[in-house]
Chains A and B, each alone.
Chain A
């Protein structure tokens, strides 16, 4: 397929069937391969949509500096878009993220501000807001509250899924900024409201939840719980187990958040089998496994992998 520029190639990703992981011909699983985007993650859709919206609204002009709190993928996608559109990018990144993410950010030309591991992305958001206040001329697209994040999926991912799988009954995706699920929820509520929207949320080690008090918790401004039907918390052990299963049985090499998403998708499949209902369950493969090789998640015992991921922002 021919595109004029790399940015034009974002989206229109393949949807592939998983005959070995599907429990029966009536209950089928489908993987939406978002790792096929230019930087290898679903966030290319979001970064491009947020930059295009800001350019259209006149908030971004050539030479502008972008500032963004991110645990990695959105930053990498923004760095690629910023390079091609002529912006400087400063990413605010928790220190407990994989080394590959930092290398990739630097490769695409982003500058990195590290924030303490304790508190995870909450702390990155808080510090990015402080830095933003000190630099009023910098533009924070702010993925957690930017409607263009959800719109990228309402206008892209959602319609693509329905076109490729008109019989779809469930969509399962990861919950981080909530943008993927909000956009998919908006799209399916309007076009096929019986589709169940299911969220899989990574459950990290205790360090990440080490907030000083409960008022420092964080719910993204985009989040509207009426747009999803169920939400599951998945620990690193299940995520590792499932991401290996996906590789072993279907040959798909995915990142750890996809393991968590597959875990929730398989639970939906098991419920459909039990209820003797037909199901076509599509889930989002958010990225490939490349950026997580240094975590050791793909080798040795699951117990060892779980131990190595303790305290890391693995999704």
Chain B
């Protein structure tokens, strides 16, 4: 088993066009490092020195990680991680 990471259209240039990749890790930070190891450049687009970039939202099993510990959020086999750009509603 592994963790599925769904990648938005604008980041698929880094994943060879793949909509989703699988990776390993115990925390979101480790998971992103693992994704970046096989898809170099992804991490830089997701994370800056302050954490997850302002216009990026990351969800573990549909919950926004900014409210569950940010990059320290625990992840486990079978989890689904979704990365999306921030959009407006209303």
A229 within 8 A of B: yes
A230 within 8 A of B: yes
Q: Which residues of B contact A174 (CB under 8 A)?
A: 89
- Assess the A121–B62 pair: CB atoms within 8 A: no
Distance (Å) between the CB of B12 and the closest chain A CB? 10
Contacts A206-B9, A209-B8, A211-B10 given: A232-B63 contact, CB under 8 Å?
yes
Chain B residue with the shortest CB-CB distance to A234: B62
B residues apposed to A, CB below 8 Å:
8-10, 45, 53-57, 59, 62-64, 66-68, 82, 84-90
- Assess the A125–B88 pair: CB atoms within 8 A: yes
Q: Which residues of A contact B59 (CB under 8 A)?
A: 232-233
A interface secondary structure, majority: mixed
Chain A residue with the shortest CB-CB distance to B53: A214
A213 within 8 A of B: yes
Q: B9, B67, B68, B90 — which one has the most chain A CB atoms within 10 A of its CB?
A: B90
Q: Within the assembled complex, what's the spacing in Å between the Cα atoms of A173 and B45?
A: 30
Chain B residue with the shortest CB-CB distance to A213: B10
B interface secondary structure, majority: mixed
- Assess the A228–B89 pair: CB atoms within 8 A: no
Q: Which residues of B contact A225 (CB under 8 A)?
A: 66-67
Chain A residue with the shortest CB-CB distance to B82: A233
Distance (Å) between the CB of B33 and the closest chain A CB? 19
Q: Within the assembled complex, what's the spacing in Å between the Cα atoms of A125 and B88?
A: 8
- Assess the B90–A177 pair: CB atoms within 8 A: yes
Q: Mark A247-272, 1 if CB is under 8 A from B, else 0.
A: 00000000000000000000000000
Q: Which residues of B contact A122 (CB under 8 A)?
A: 87-88
Q: A43, A211, A234 — which one has the most chain B CB atoms within 10 A of its CB?
A: A211
- Assess the A218–B88 pair: CB atoms within 8 A: yes
Q: Within the assembled complex, what's the spacing in Å between the Cα atoms of A203 and B6?
A: 13
Q: Which residues of B contact A120 (CB under 8 A)?
A: 87-88
A158 within 8 A of B: no
- Assess the B87–A218 pair: CB atoms within 8 A: yes
Interface residues on A, range: 35 or more
- Assess the A144–B88 pair: CB atoms within 8 A: yes
A208 within 8 A of B: yes
- Residue from A71, A176, A217 within 8 A of B55 (CB atoms): A217
Chain A residue with the shortest CB-CB distance to B55: A217
Q: A143, A199, A219 — which one has the most chain B CB atoms within 10 A of its CB?
A: A219
Q: Within the assembled complex, what's the spacing in Å between the Cα atoms of A144 and B63?
A: 23
- Assess the B67–A229 pair: CB atoms within 8 A: yes
- Residue from B9, B54, B67, B84 within 8 A of A230 (CB atoms): B67
- Assess the A210–B9 pair: CB atoms within 8 A: yes
A40 within 8 A of B: no
Chain A residue with the shortest CB-CB distance to B66: A225
Distance (Å) between the CB of A241 and the closest chain B CB? 14
Q: Within the assembled complex, what's the spacing in Å between the Cα atoms of A144 and B10?
A: 24
Q: Which residues of A contact B57 (CB under 8 A)?
A: 233
Q: Within the assembled complex, what's the spacing in Å between the Cα atoms of A161 and B74?
A: 35
A11 within 8 A of B: no
Residues from 91 to 137 in A contacting B, C-beta threshold 8 Å: 120-122, 124-125
Q: Which residues of B contact A69 (CB under 8 A)?
A: 88
- Assess the A231–B63 pair: CB atoms within 8 A: yes
Contacts A177-B89, A206-B9 given: A219-B67 contact, CB under 8 Å?
no
Contacts A230-B67, A231-B64, A232-B62 given: A176-B89 contact, CB under 8 Å?
yes
Q: Which residues of A contact B84 (CB under 8 A)?
A: 203, 209, 233
A315 within 8 A of B: yes
- Assess the A219–B55 pair: CB atoms within 8 A: yes
A186 within 8 A of B: no
- Assess the A217–B89 pair: CB atoms within 8 A: no
Q: Which residues of B contact A233 (CB under 8 A)?
A: 57, 59, 62-64, 82, 84
A70 within 8 A of B: yes
